[in-house]
Structure 1
Amino acid sequence: MSFELPSADSFAGYPAVRRSRGFRVYSPEGRRFLDLYQDAGRGMMGSRPQGLILRFKSSLEKLGPAAMPSVWTQRAARLLTGFFPDHPWVGIFPSFPEALKALEPVYGGGLPPLWDPVEAGYGRHLPENNVALSIWRPFLPVPCSDVLLPILPGTGTWGGVFVLSRKSLNVPAPPLSPFLLAPQVYGIRLFFRWLHETDPDTYANFPRGPWERLGPYLFPRCREDEHTELVKELIARGLYPSPEYFIPSIIPGDYDEGEIKQLREWEGKWNSA
């Protein structure tokens, strides 16, 4: 399921990451790679957005790492309902599996299919009818869904997983550590502002290369059984793509012509493939 992070096996053949900065990751040997993975969409503002590290340090000094109820739960809910006004109920869970397990009683013990735009026509189409449970991905329309799980900074990695519903759900959620939730609220606020200010057309200048593009998302044009070889070729050219076929790569918010020069040169090769 594409909401979850890829397994360690999916990254076989990838360089180890020693550090990251902005939209670049660096191997232990100092080689730089342009990050097209971006934590499966959770890092679309790049690594360490401005002020985020300071928020982590501040929250650790003030709050400590223990999981307990905090004011940040209400602040997160207000922030999310402001962006998703049709889904006023907000639950926050430590992980995606825990969120789904908590939702099972709502549906009588069996979850409905989870609609994900990247698995449904590669994000080109919204569902024709209302769905019970769906994912929202940045820059794609909000699907008509009773329950929504948005991809946001930190979702399911260092932060909480948010469940948004049109109606109130009697679903208990364990408290999250405010040490993590406070920086996540800051990151989401920054993210919503960034979404509002970013013109999706700014991604249009990125080379099409071996992908089809939808907004910032890059979907491989090769067959699924050819994806591993494509990934190897991209890594050899200094790119860090999504490791899984059904999780799109993402155009970085910052890149220079030198980093994508070979993509432009090889565009004809992939267009004729």
Structure 2
Amino acid sequence: MEAQKVDMKSELRSRYGTVRRAYEYHLYTAKGVRLLDMCQEGGAAILGWRSGRSKLALKNTLDRGITGSFPTETEDELSRAVQEVLPQYSTVRVYQTKDRARLACADYLGLWSEIPLIESPLLHPEASIDIGPGGDSPLSASRKVHGIPLWRPWLDEAFYAMSDRVDSAFLNNVNDTLETMVLSSPYPFAGGCSVVVFSSPEKDGRAPWPSDSIAPALLAAYARAWADLASALFERTEADWAKFDRYAEPYWDRRGPYLVPKMRPSRYADFFRSCLDKGILVSPDYDTPSIIPWSADPSELKVLSASGSK
């Protein structure tokens, strides 16, 4: 059975009211409850909700009145910051939505417009030989992971750390179509924009679509967030994620900082609600990984095993 859709806003509001404050990896609600955030806006808050200087960059640009659709230096700043993390890509574009980003990638590659945006094969529930819901073999499942790839930080390290426990069919697909990627950007701003990289200015006579018009202040904030990510990539290691294994292992398979559920898709909605009842917000989507809250205390996950949430 497929995973039941979860309305995260409704589930949060019905238990705890609205969220009034977000700091690092915790959300503070109207009912005075502090929630551990393992959803992290799908990865946008992987550096924390108020870490770095991205919001200062946003404010400074707004204060200068740079809010129009004219060209500004923020476009180049964002390109340089992204290329500091991914120097092998010569061209950076920004689009208003992930769907626009996906279509731009498909056009660049000369693929059909309905090709999906997909997570890395390393984050597929059946990539690991010894876990995952029953059904397809790893080989047949790996054939379903073709699409426009979504890049996430720290997965390169996970690739090497997992090489002895991931089926080779998935490993062979990891670097299959990387001439262009949609990036999971480390700036927690609902609605933001989608960043795309291209390996060259042209492929088979097709140039990447021009960037969409995005508010300069938002581009400045994204640029600062990418600069912060460039520093964080060297500061956070496999040992930082592994501290959580003791409590996370019964429920997820960890791949770098990302947590892939072990239960069947049909059970995931109940698992999400059970975690939320215990003060932990995990990803509401079975196919989107939950994420280790880097600076949180691993013992905050104790409540899962204490009451048998599996």
TM range (shorter): 0.7 to 0.9
User: How well do the aligned residues superpose, as a CA RMSD in angstroms?
Assistant: 2.8
2:38–2:281 contact (8 Å) kept in structure 1? yes
Separation in structure 1 between the aligned mates of residue 154 and residue 37 of structure 2, nearest angstrom: 19
Separation in structure 2 between the aligned mates of residue 143 and residue 123 of structure 1, nearest angstrom: 18
1:143 equivalent among 162, 170, 175: 175
1:10–1:244 contact (8 Å) kept in structure 2? no
2:84 equivalent among 82, 85, 88: 82
Q: Deviation string for 1:93-132 (max 9, x for gaps)? A: 122122234445435572345442168634958x89xx77
Alpha carbons of 1:10 and 1:119: their partners in 2 closer, same or farther (altered >3 Å)? farther
Query: Sequence identity, in percent?
Result: 24
Q: Residue 186 of structure 1 aligns with which residue?
A: 224
Alpha carbons of 1:255 and 1:154: their partners in 2 closer, same or farther (altered >3 Å)? closer
Q: Residue 133 of structure 1 aligns with which residue?
A: 148
1:205 equivalent among 210, 231, 243: 243
2:106–2:148 contact (8 Å) kept in structure 1? no
Q: Secondary structure at the match of 1:63?
A: coil
Q: Deviation string for 1:149-191 (max 9, x for gaps)? A: 1111238835331111112124122232111111110111001
Separation in structure 1 between the aligned mates of residue 252 and residue 109 of structure 2, nearest angstrom: 38
Q: Deviation string for 1:44-65 (max 9, x for gaps)? A: 1110113333222211101343
Q: Residue 164 of structure 1 aligns with which residue?
A: 197
Q: Secondary structure at the match of 1:153?
A: coil
Q: Residue 229 of structure 1 aligns with which residue?
A: 270
Separation in structure 2 between the aligned mates of residue 123 and residue 176 of structure 1, nearest angstrom: 38
Separation in structure 2 between the aligned mates of residue 104 and residue 148 of structure 1, nearest angstrom: 10
Gaps of 5+ in 2: 129-141, 157-173, 202-206
Q: Residue 259 of structure 1 aligns with which residue?
A: 300
1:219 equivalent among 260, 269, 274: 260
1:71 pairs with 2:77: no
Q: Residue 99 of structure 1 aligns with which residue?
A: 101
More moved, 187-196 vs 11-20:
11-20
